[in-house]
C-alpha cells in the first residue's frame, strides 16, 4: 500500500495544478491511448510506442481500472510515469474512475484484497483531480463525448468549451466531483456517438446518458473551433471512425485531418474484451493508427 499511496500523493501535487482542461501545443506530437482497464501490458505497450515514435505527449483517455484483474498495478504504472515525466503524461478521467463503477466492476474488491480498504479514500480523491478534456489545436480529446441540455431528437444549441470549463472547475479536486454531480460533466464521461440519429436520444447505458448524432457533434465542433473528436469508452476493434452515415472498424494507417474532419474517432486499448487494442498518433496534420502489439 505504501508505494501506491506515495504515488497518489505525488500525483495529486501535479494534477491539482493541471486543471480540468489540458491545452497541448498545436505542433506537439501526441500519442492518444484509450481504455486500458486493468491491463498494465497494454499501458506498457503504449509507453514503448510513444518512445519509439518520439511523442512529446501521451494522453490516456481514462478507464484505467475495473474489468482486468491488475487495476492496482496499472494505476501504479501510470502514476509512476506521471510523477517521472509530469510534463509529458496526461491522464484524463473516464467513467470508471468512479466509486460506484469500481464497486460493480471489481476494482474496489481488488484494492481491498491487495491493499486494504483504507486506501480507497485516497484513490477517490485522485479521481476528482483527473482532467476531463485535452485539446491540441483543433482536436478535442475526452472519454465519452458531446453533452446536451434538453437531450431530445430536436435541435439544440451546442455547449461551448468556456461553459464546460467553468462547470468542470467547480468540481475539480472536490468531493462533489466524484459523481460527478453536474449532468453535463457526467455526460462528457458517458455519452456515445451514433450516426443513425441527428441530435440526441437516450442511451442504453442508463439514466442521464445519451447518444449524440452527427448534427450534435458537428455543431459542437463548430462552436468550439474544432475539427475532430477523439474519444474512448466503447469496445471497438482498436480504432473506430464514426461519420455522418457510417462506421468504420479497425482503422489502421495514416490519415490527414481533412480526411477525418467533422468525425468522431474512438480508440480502445484494453485486452479484456478479446478485441485488438489501438492507439492514435497526432503529428502535424496527420493521425496514424496503431494496433497492439506492433511497433514502428
Kind of pairing between the strands at 57-60 and 89-91: parallel
Nearest-10 crossing angle of helices 71-84, 107-114: 80
SS3 of 278, please? strand
Residue-level pLDDT at 296? 84
Q: How many domains does the chain have?
A: 1
- The three cell numbers of residue 108 are 474496489
Residue-level pLDDT at 1? 62
Q: How far apart are CA 232 and CA 61, in angstroms?
A: 6
- 296 in a structural domain: no
Burial class from Cβ neighbours inside 10 Å (0-12, 13-18, 19+) for residue 253 reads exposed
Kind of pairing between the strands at 253-256 and 286-291: antiparallel
Containing structural domain, residue 158: 2-291
Asked if residue 132 lies in contact with residue 168, where contact means CB atoms within 8 angstroms, the answer is yes
Distance of CA 219 to the CA centre of its chain: 21
Residue-level pLDDT at 274? 87
CATH number (domain holding residue 177) = 3.60.21.10
Distance of CA 117 to the CA centre of its chain: 26
- 203 in a structural domain: yes
- 125 in a structural domain: yes
- From first to last of the 296 residues of the chain, give the pLDDT tens digit: 679 999 999 999 999 999 999 999 999 999 999 999 999 999 999 999 999 999 999 999 999 999 999 999 999 999 999 999 999 999 999 999 999 999 999 999 999 999 999 999 999 999 999 999 999 999 999 999 999 999 999 999 999 999 999 999 999 999 999 999 999 999 999 999 999 999 999 999 999 999 999 999 999 999 999 999 999 999 999 999 999 989 999 999 999 999 999 999 999 999 998 889 999 999 999 999 999 999 88
User: pTM for this one?
Assistant: 0.97
Amino acid at each position: 500500500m505504501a508505494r501506491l499511496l506515495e504515488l497518489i500523493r505525488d500525483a495529486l501535487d501535479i494534477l491539482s495544478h493541471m486543471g480540468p482542461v489540458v491545452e497541448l501545443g498545436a505542433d506537439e506530437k501526441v500519442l492518444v491511448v484509450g481504455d486500458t482497464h486493468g491491463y498494465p501490458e497494454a499501458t506498457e505497450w503504449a509507453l514503448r510506442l510513444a518512445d519509439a515514435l518520439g511523442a512529446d505527449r501521451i494522453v490516456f483517455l481514462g478507464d484505467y481500472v475495473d474489468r482486468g484483474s491488475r487495476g492496482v498495478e496499472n494505476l501504479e504504472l501510470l502514476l509512476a510515469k506521471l510523477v517521472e515525466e509530469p510534463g509529458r503524461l496526461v491522464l484524463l478521467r473516464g467513467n470508471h474512475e468512479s466509486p460506484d463503477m469500481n464497486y460493480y466492476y471489481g476494482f474496489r474488491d481488488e484494492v481491498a484484497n491487495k491493499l486494504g480498504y483504507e486506501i480507497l479514500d485516497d484513490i477517490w480523491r485522485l479521481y476528482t483531480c483527473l482532467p476531463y478534456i485535452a485539446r491540441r489545436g483543433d482536436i478535442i480529446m475526452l472519454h465519452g463525448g458531446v453533452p446536451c441540455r434538453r437531450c431530445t431528437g430536436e435541435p439544440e444549441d451546442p455547449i461551448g468549451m468556456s461553459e464546460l470549463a467553468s462547470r468542470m472547475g467547480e468540481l475539480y479536486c472536490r468531493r462533489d466531483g466524484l459523481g460527478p454531480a453536474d449532468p453535463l460533466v457526467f455526460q462528457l464521461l458517458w455519452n456515445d456517438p451514433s450516426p443513425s440519429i441527428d441530435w440526441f436520444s437516450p442511451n442504453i447505458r442508463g439514466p442521464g446518458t445519451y447518444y449524440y448524432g452527427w448534427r450534435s457533434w458537428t455543431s459542437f465542433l463548430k462552436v468550439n473551433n474544432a475539427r475532430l473528436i477523439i474519444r474512448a469508452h466503447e469496445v471497438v476493434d482498436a480504432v473506430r471512425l464514426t461519420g455522418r452515415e457510417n462506421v468504420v472498424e479497425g482503422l489502421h494507417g495514416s490519415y490527414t485531418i481533412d480526411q477525418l474532419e467533422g468525425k468522431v474517432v474512438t480508440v480502445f486499448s484494453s485486452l479484456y474484451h478479446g478485441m485488438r487494442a489501438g492507439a492514435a498518433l497526432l503529428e502535424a496534420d496527420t493521425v496514424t493508427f496503431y494496433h497492439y502489439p506492433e511497433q514502428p
